[in-house]
Structure 1
Amino acid sequence: MSHLLPPNETARLAALNELDLLDTPNEPVFDRITRLVTVLLGVPKSTISLIDTDRQWFKSQVGMEFSESPRDMAFCAYTVLEDEPLVVEDAQSDERFATNPIVTKPGGIRFYAGIPLRNSHGLVLGSLCAMDTQPRQLTPQEQAAMQDLADIVIGEIHLRERLINEQKIRAATQQSLTALHQSLEQRIEQRTRELNLVIESAYDAYLSIDAQGRVLDWNRAAESMFGWSRKDALTRPLTSLMFPQGLTCDDAAMPLTCDAIRRDGVRLPVEVRLKSFEVNGRPRRSVFIHDITERQQLERLRDQQAREDVLTRLPNRRALDERLPEAMARVRRTLAPLVVLFLDLDGFKRINDQHGHGMGDELLREVAQRLQNAVRETDFIARWAGDEFVVLLEGVTTEALEPLANKLIQVIEEPLHVGSATLRVSTSIGVALFVPNAAETPQELLKRADDAMYNAKRAGKARVALARPADTPNPL
């Protein structure tokens, strides 16, 4: 195994373990990437692999029967070793892998492409992999697409590193402040200089208030965070500085999350920690305030990305799974009609085969934009998978339904000119109507629309097919 160890192995393993990704459950942010790899490259297998001491472990996988394998059998071990993308067009012709059990077994790996996944210090922790049981070549466009997807994974790794580093800083600061609090009452006079030094250099805003909530101390971080100088803040009540509603009178075991008001009127999301003490028998309170703006922005961004298709920027399947039950509940309450359109592009595979996946991606983005322009602003469009889309129409009359569906066929059939190429596709549409008294789940409603779409394809494509009613059994 020593011949497969990079020179920075010790630092690499330490960084991997600190990231705390090994042996953790699946996460949508990673599973989206492996699914996209299989769709964009047309391969049956894709993984996000992390190389541990003696094993390869999959944080996400598509098409694999196991979650880990020995490191000395892993193609990704060479990606980590060589610190650059690795493409093996035919593993049986490569002396490094020709005798590998995962190559020689029936249906074994013949093609492999791996993109290194680096942390913020450039250490390769694993790779984004695409695999096939048949030999093949990787086009420059496909490698660029894999690199783009790997960059998304790398961005998530860097984000987690920043969060871990922030937690370390906060934990270290809190540990120091907690230690000071434990001895503050008995040694307040002796520790004044040391306490002032810690407070003045702290990342968090610190202030001390009396029983009436008037400021007795105000550090530099508070000046920077709220825009009030120490001179302006001293003796003023908190209600006139940043907390118009005041603060709780009790010490909280957990941080309080609330909005503070800066001097310029801007609202600032913060976490507040309170600690009561006495000085010469007089009650005092220490207030530590941490700005959580960046953390909330990161959380909102991650939440948005979890519900958005990377390629088309439409809502993804997860977003549809959340929206459809809500729409069905509104139908039962308001009795307004709900229609589900299931669209599948006709001729899309031919576009990929003739012009490449990059051109296919451009077509999917254009189709998504055309669909958005063709329906109402209140309607909901999601990318289901590959070249399939789902449209939810609420409050549409049955008379308007067929013209709208035919309009969608027409706008998709309009040719798309990209450079010297002219791309043409059509679409088959399955239509399912949801009625208030139907005992039907969202999955069953989508299945009816999907079945109707396949009926449209069998009937000649580029047409609309209506699904059978929910309470009608399948015909024999």
Structure 2
Amino acid sequence: MDDRKLQDEAGRLLALHRYCALDSTNEPNFDTITSLVRDLLGVPICAVSLIDEDEQRFKSIQGAEIAGTPREVAFCDHTIRTHGPLVVSDAEQDERFADNPLVTGEMHVRAYAGTPLTTPDGYNLGALCAIHRRRHDFTPGDIELLKRFARVVVDQMELKTLAHRDFLTGALTRRAFTEASVKALGQLKREERSATIAVIDVDHFKKINDAHGHPVGDKVLKSISTRINGQLRSSDLFGRLGGEEFGMLLYATTRTEALNCAERMRAAIEALREGDNPPATISIGLAHVDPSRSIEDALAEADAALYEAKRSGRNRVVCAGQMNHSVAA
């Protein structure tokens, strides 16, 4: 795991929101895992914990009636700051936790073992943890079991995201893209930063379908989507808005940075040659978005810039507010 990911709190929170992991409180699928781990380790409490900006939320917990805690007291907040498991045999003797209200209060946490829930792109979203109310030494076998079941939890989260992704291209669905963008803008507002929204359209896509058939058209869309998505950062968002139209949210970018990024993508698609797929080009409309604006307004402005890109010849990038400064092929 990259050390930089441990320091990238903004990226971690965006990953958490991409998984739509906070849309509900309890996850029944996780209950089976926490119940099994509790029985196998012989502990009174086992939980799947996710760490949001200011709070810890339990997506499943066995052995305690609690939905969450402030982040500042969460043992799991310490766990997500590490590459591996966190093990505390006696919290009362550990200076990090001796005065923690989870130790001194009704929960009476005395021993803790937690392993991070790490996404495929390297972000720790939370932890799978086992808790004793008395001093306890967790064995290497206990920790290995926690690590294995933590991977199962992440796999379950990955499967859940499939419902939010377009089957053909793997991009977020329009609804998922919009919802994730709203959450990203909320994060940007707290950071006092801005972003850029892009709307992308495959040029003359109907002609490709008419000339080569819809199966070939599907391959073209998939190739373009893969190439674009491969150039984005983990903090960016990519969705299929409908048909041959896609959307991007470029996180914390200036107009110049976004324009350069979009131009690189346009050029990459123009140069793309994959198998027997016919060549294709894209047009891109950009809109710089302040977090105080709605995502719908930003998409509408980017769509207007896209219309200008298509009207002025296609295979180019146009930024809203700078309609006379399009980047032509």
TM-score category by the smaller chain? 0.5 to 0.7
Aligned with residue 181 of structure 2, among 324, 327, 345: 324
Q: Does 1:386 align with 2:191?
A: no
Give, in angstroms, the shift of residue 382 of structure 1: 1.4
CA distance in structure 1 between the partners assigned to 2:185 and 2:130 by the alignment: 40
2:213 aligns with: 356
Distance 2:182 2:232 in 1: 21
- Distance across 2 between alignment mates of 1:351 and 1:303: 33
Counterparts of 1:305-454 in structure 2, within 5 Å, are 305-418=162-275, 421-436=276-291, 438=292, 440-454=293-307
Instruction: Give the gaps of 5 or more residues in structure 1.
Output: 1-162, 164-203, 205-221, 227-237, 248-254, 271-292, 470-476
Please name the residue that 1:243 is paired with: 42
CA distance in 2, matches of 1:269, 1:422: 41
Shift of 1:422: 4.8
**Native 8 Å contact 2:289 2:298 kept in 1:** yes
Instruction: Give the match's secondary structure for 1:423.
Output: coil
| 2:160 equivalent to 1:303 | yes
SS at match of 2:256: helix
Corresponding residue of 2:62: 257
Change (3 A) 1:269 1:424: closer
Counterpart contact for 2:199–2:306, Cα < 8 Å:
yes
- C-alpha distance 317-257 of structure 1, shift in aligned 2 (>3 A): farther
Amino acid at match of 1:306: A
Task: Quote the residue 2:76 is aligned against.
Answer: none
In 2: Cα distance, 1:301 partner to 1:459 partner: 41
**Aligned equivalents of 1:298, 1:332: Cα separation in 2:** 31
Paired residue total? 202
CA change 1:244–1:384 in 2 (3 A) is: same
Which amino acid in 1 is paired with 2:281? S
Which runs of structure 2 are paired with 1:185-200 in the superposition (5 Å)? none
Aligned identity (percent) is 28
1:151 counterpart residue number: none
Q: Tell whether the 8 Å contact from 1:324 to 1:442 is kept in structure 2 after alignment.
A: yes
Preserved CA contact (<8 Å) 2:195 2:254: no
Distance 1:368 1:416 in 2: 14
Residues in 2 aligned to 1:458 and 1:450: alpha-carbon distance in whole angstroms: 12
Q: How high is the TM-score relative to the length of structure 2?
A: 0.52
CA drift at 1:445:
1.4
Going from structure 1 to structure 2, the CA distance change for 1:396 and 1:268 (only over 3 Å counts) comes to closer
Q: What's the RMSD between the two structures over aligned residues? A: 3.7
Alignment of 1:29-428 (within 5 A): 242-245=41-44, 257=62, 264-265=141-142, 266-267=145-146, 300=157, 303-418=160-275, 421-428=276-283
Q: Tell me the CA shift for residue 243 of structure 1.
A: 3.4
Aligned partner (choices 308, 313, 320) of residue 460 of structure 1: 313
Task: Name 2:6's counterpart in structure 1.
Answer: none
Question: Given residue 377 of structure 1, which amino acid in structure 2 is its aligned partner?
Answer: S
Structure 2: where are the runs of 5+ without partners?
1-27, 47-59, 64-128, 132-137, 323-329
The CA distance in 2 between the partners of 1:429 and 1:337, in whole Å, is: 19
